Every structure is written in structure tokens, then in C-alpha cells.
Structure 1
Amino acid sequence: MARAPVSCFIISKNEADRIARTIRAVRPWVDEVVVVDSESADDTVGVALAEGARVITQPWLGFGGQKRFAEEQCRNDWVFNLDADEVVTPQLMQEILAVFANERPGFVAYGMPLKMVYPGCAKPRPLARDHWYVRLYNRRFVRFRHSRIHNSVVTGSHAVGRLQAPIHHFSMRSFADMKRKLNERTWLLVDNASPNGAGSLRLRLLSELPMNFFKYYVVRRHCMGGLKGLRYAAIQASYRYLKIYRIWRAAQQREKSSRSPLTA
């Protein structure tokens, strides 16, 4: 099989049970696979090495910082980012190989859809509409944002090509795992939220739950996922509401503290 002049990089922590599948889907057709591991307590490093990846250990730098570090470890300027719970489909592989067939890609960055797979399922729900991200790009022109909480590629004024085939995202080991991850993510967002007045946030408390349930269940088509889709939409909406509630409570505490008289 022809290889694309691309370095695939993956950041990981405690992904021994799923990173092999991610690496196997790209190893035959990319130039190298680089895994940047943030001190896993399981056998992630051993599994990645056994699958032919080059592994570098780096303590956690935040989402954007870790991915920028990983970009710099690659030997090619063209890089392809995957998370350890994502799998490239054969159709996407063919599209990426076609980008490099003439050795001169038409864009400096390419985006593609990510379609989520429910726990216990092998493929996404029908008509899945989850996310679209830039994952294939030339690091001489665009890079990941240097942010603790965000991990998006900043393309600026550069035009972005669109690939049609998806990455399959096995983001949850179970719905309990989903809740754990959302709870951790919610606290991270709360800790890094911009200061807001409690009054302005109170209005969002009324709309956040129904608005997000509609977004996930209808707009993103989890209504096509049966009971699992209903459960997924309800959990996502609940944690979106919980994020605003926690930010609102923090704002209340700040306002209360600012009104309290100084004590000797």
C-alpha cells in the first residue's frame, strides 16, 4: 500500500484497551505514528510500541499544549491528529491518500466529520451528525491553539478543504464512563470560565436543559439512535445545564464575598 507523507500523532493517557485499534487503522498508510503519552498508569505505552508507534512520555500540558508538543515531535510537516478512541474508516483513508496522489495538496488543512459510536455498537447511528474538525494539516501554516481547555486547529485566513468520509469516535466505554468524563470536563470549564454576573446566568438556567436536549436529540439526530440516543441526549443536556449551574453558583459566591465587610 502507498504511504502518505504524513505523521499521525495521538495523545494518550490510560488507553491500553483501545489505542491498538486506532493505530492499526493508520499504520499501513502513514509515514509514522507518534504517540505522546501523559504518564499512563496502564500498559498504553507497551501496546503502542507493539503496534509500531514511536512513543514519547510528556506530563500533561493541557489539551492544546499537549497537541502542540506532539506536532513538534513529528518528522513530517503534514500531520494527522487522532485521539486514542478514534478509528479512521477505509473510505477516509482513500480520501487522504488521494489528497497526496499528485504530491501537491490543494489546501494547507483539511477537515472531516467525526461520528460518534454508542457503547456496545460497531458503527454510528443512521444519519449521524456529530462534529466536524480540522485534523489533517501542514504545521508550517496552521497549528493547534495553545489552550488548556480547547484543542482546535487555528486556520486563520487559510482556506480549508473538506473530506467527506468520517472518523468513527468510540468516545465512551459505557454511559457511566460518559458521565465521569463529562463531570471532569464540566469542572475544567468552570475553573476556566470568564467571570459572569449571577443575574445574567440565571436566565440561562431556564433554557439550558431544554435547548441542549433539542440540539442533541433533534439537530444532531440522536433521535435516530433509539433508546441509546435518547439516553445520550439526556445526559449531554443534563451536564450542559450542570456546567451553567456551577458557574452560576461560583458567581453567586464571588458576589457574596464582594459584599461582605472586611474583617480585622
Structure 2
Amino acid sequence: MVDSSQLPKLPITLLIIARNEASAIGRCLDSVPFAAEKLVIDSGSTDGTQDVSQRHGARVVYQEWLGFGPQRNFASLQASHDWILALDADEALSPELANELRERLPQLMQSSNAGAILRRQTWYMGAPMRWYRPMVGERMGRLYHRGRARWTDVRVHESLRFDGPTPTLKHPFIHLNNPTLVHKQLKTLRYAELKARDWLDRGKPVHMWMTPFVYLTAFIKDYFLRLAFLDGWRGFIVSQTAATYAAYKRMRYYEMRRNPESRDMAADLLHGYGLDP
């Protein structure tokens, strides 16, 4: 068997934005052995993420949290290479995708393509989801040339905007989604806070009367139309969680508008959990 660490490196940067990801980030870094550079943008970890990252071959740069979109755009500028593979700390390349990238990247990087679309396979509650569409083969822009693509400047739910062709790769990368429901609920609180603040910046109108319908519509869409029901109780749980998030972020936005003091109070509480909005 060939030792992958001895194979030639490719001029690409593996880029991870992280905070308090010591338990997961090593697996992510090790899954991309062909990257000439591994770069972690840390926003103030207190669990040793920086040390773990360095032990797994990464360069670590500190940047105070800017929001997901701005943080990723800052990170792109810190890379030593124009071609970038962006992963989250709880994600990793499958061996099949790592081999596919090693074979296809040289030609891709010589082309005029802006990047490539990758597919993501999600593990939830300790096993892969089999039917729920957003967690089975979800298409995501994660490989890009930084001169031909840019992350949207939003606090949460950022995405890449490409300026050029983007082929789709065959094999998936793996997402180990939230080790527990407690982690998921904390993340939901943070994401809702970020989304509500984006709405506040844009002066989005408040339509609280829509909230019950938003909840019901979101649950029906995920549970039935996106086939979550075929994944059993895990499908029910993921649909209920998504519907709750859709409703809660609207309620939180209503509260921000009605009681502006709640913004700083909530930010201080989330900060105590290491979840800066």
C-alpha cells in the first residue's frame, strides 16, 4: 500500500474556519493529505484547537469572529494558493473523494473553471441518513479559485458565488452532523441570532402572523417532500428541528425589534458558551 503522506502535494490550500473544534479538526485535516497547505482560521478557541491543528500540519491564523461569510472571505485572502478547498471541522473527505480530487485537480487547476461542486453525505445520530434529501448527496460549492469565486457577505448560511464553470465531482465528502441534540440546539440558537441580525441590518418587515404557517410548511416540506419520513424517527427529529428553527428565528427577530436591549443580553449569554453571534 502506498503511503499517501509520501505522494506529491498539489498547490491547493485546505481551509477551515474554527472555534473550539479540538475533538474533530484532526480528522478533517488528515483527510486531505495531498494539500500543499493546511490553514485554520481560529476565532478564539479555548479547548486547544490551535495546538491540535498544528500537530496535524496546519498553519493557524487568529481572526476575531466576523460572521460566516466575512470570515470565509478573510480566510481566502490568507491562503498561500489560489485554489482552495473549504471544509468545516466536522467534515472530512471520503477516501474515494480524496482519490478523485488527486486525479482531477491538476487538470481542473489548469482550466478556466471557477471551482467545482462537491456532494455531502451526512451522518446523523451515529449513522448516515439514507433518504432525507438535504443530507444525502447535498450539492455544495467548496472547491474554488479565489479570483473567480467569493463567499456571500452574510452572517450565516453563506454560499459561494462562482464566476465561471463549475463541474460536479462524483464521490461525497462526509459530514458528522452535531454529536448530540444538545449541540444542535446550541447551534440553532446561534444561527437564529445571526439570521435575525442580518434581517435587522436590512430592515426586513416583521410578519409574526406567518410564523405558525412557516413552522407547519417547513415540517411538511422536510418530512414528506424531502423524504425524511423514510429515515424513521431520525427523520422526524430532523424535520421537527428544522421547522422549529424556521419559526424561532422569526420570533427572535420580533423580540429584537420590540426590545432592542435583548440583543446585547443574548450576545453575552451566547458568548459564555463560546458561540459569538
TM-score for both structures, normalised by structure 1: 0.85
Task: Report how far residue 47 of structure 1 moved.
Answer: 0.7
Task: Report how far residue 230 of structure 1 moved.
Answer: 1.3
- For structure 1, the residue ranges without an aligned partner over 5 or more in a row are 255-264
Paired residue for 2:56, among 51, 58, 62? 51
> Which residue of structure 2 lines up, in the alignment, with residue 109 of structure 1?
115
> Which residue of structure 2 lines up, in the alignment, with residue 245 of structure 1?
251
Kept in 2: contact 1:108–1:137 (CA 8 A): yes
> Across the two proteins, how many residue pairs are aligned to each other?
248
From the two aligned structures, give the one with the greater helix fraction: 2
SS state at 2:130 partner: coil
CA distance in 2 between partners of 1:221 and 1:2 (Å)? 42
1:138 and 2:142 aligned: no
CA distance in 1 between partners of 2:113 and 2:220 (Å)? 35
Q: Which amino acid aligns with 1:143?
A: R
Paired residue for 2:242, among 233, 236, 241? 236
Paired residue for 1:178, among 173, 184, 194? 184
Kept in 2: contact 1:10–1:81 (CA 8 A): yes
Deviation per residue, 1:75-99 (Å, 9 max, x gap) = 1111110011111112221222232
Kept in 1: contact 2:69–2:159 (CA 8 A): yes
Paired residue for 1:195, among 196, 199, 203? 203
Q: Which amino acid aligns with 1:134?
A: G
Question: Structure 1 residues 244 and 43, CA, compared in 2 at 3 Å: closer, same or farther?
Answer: same
CA distance in 2 between partners of 1:225 and 1:95 (Å)? 29
Question: Structure 1 residues 228 and 127, CA, compared in 2 at 3 Å: closer, same or farther?
Answer: closer
Q: Which amino acid aligns with 1:43?
A: G
> Which residue of structure 2 lines up, in the alignment, with residue 125 of structure 1?
129
Kept in 1: contact 2:149–2:161 (CA 8 A): yes
Task: Report how far residue 219 of structure 1 moved.
Answer: 3.4
CA distance in 2 between partners of 1:62 and 1:247 (Å)? 17
SS state at 2:195 partner: helix
Summarize the alignment of residues 16-31 of structure 1 with structure 2, pairs less than 5 Å apart: 16-26=22-32, 28-31=33-36
CA distance in 2 between partners of 1:98 and 1:81 (Å)? 18
Task: Report how far residue 253 of structure 1 moved.
Answer: 6.7
Paired residue for 2:96, among 70, 91, 98? 91
Q: Over alpha carbons, which structure has the higher Rg?
A: 1
Task: Report how far residue 229 of structure 1 moved.
Answer: 2.0
SS state at 2:220 partner: helix
- For structure 2, the residue ranges without an aligned partner over 5 or more in a row are 1-6, 261-277
Kept in 2: contact 1:13–1:38 (CA 8 A): yes
Paired residue for 1:169, among 175, 182, 191? 175
Task: Report how far residue 187 of structure 1 moved.
Answer: 1.7
Deviation per residue, 1:63-112 (Å, 9 max, x gap) = 11211121112111111100111111122212222322436246221111
CA distance in 1 between partners of 2:146 and 2:112 (Å)? 15
Percent of aligned pairs with the same amino acid: 28
Kept in 1: contact 2:218–2:243 (CA 8 A): yes
Kept in 2: contact 1:115–1:129 (CA 8 A): no
1:78 and 2:83 aligned: yes
